[in-house]
């Protein structure tokens, strides 16, 4: 996976946030009903597929939903489908960095 590909995936992870990335990593499938993005966004199998059912350009709809470029969504789909092991490793690394950063922030009102 190239550095440019990793940068696009990181952009997607940032748009999703740690909770949804964690949820997405529970995915086992590769269709719009059970892939990483499906579980990350909807939290349940088939939830995103129902929302995208009448959409001709699904990547465009998801990019609008997340507020990222279509190229970013396309890279997530491609990496999940073709480089799932590397995708999972990058997501785990990103989650670890973001959990550490979250714990380092001072607690408000404590």
Residue 40 phi, psi (nearest 5): -60, -45
Give the separation between CA 42 and CA 49, rounded to whole angstroms: 9
Domain ranges of the chain: 3-104
d(CA 47, CA 86): 26
Name the nearest CA neighbour of 11 among 83, 78, 80, 94: 94
Q: Rounded mean pLDDT of the chain?
A: 85
- CA 2 to chain CA centroid, Å, is 18
pLDDT of residue 61: 84
Whether the Cβ atoms of residue 19 and residue 26 lie closer than 8 Å to each other? no
Query: Does the pLDDT of residue 103 top 60, yes or no?
Result: no
Give the whole-angstrom CA distance, residue 60 versus residue 73.
Answer: 8
In this predicted model, what pLDDT tens digit does every residue of 26-78 receive, in sequence order? 999 998 888 898 889 877 776 665 666 666 688 888 888 899 999 999 999 99
pLDDT digits (tens, 9 = 90+) for 19-28: 999 999 999 9
């Amino acid at each position: 996976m190239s550095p440019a590909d990793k940068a696009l995936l990181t952009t997607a992870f940032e748009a999703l946030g740690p909770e949804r990335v964690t949820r997405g990593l529970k995915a086992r499938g590769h269709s719009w009903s059970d892939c990483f993005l499906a579980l990350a966004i909807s939290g349940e199998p088939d939830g995103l597929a129902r929302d995208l059912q009448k959409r001709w350009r699904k990547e465009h709809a998801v990019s609008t939903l997340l507020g990222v470029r279509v190229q970013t969504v396309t890279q997530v789909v491609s990496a999940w489908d073709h480089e799932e092991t590397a995708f999972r490793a990058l997501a785990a690394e990103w989650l670890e960095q973001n959990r550490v950063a979250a714990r380092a922030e001072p607690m408000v009102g404590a």
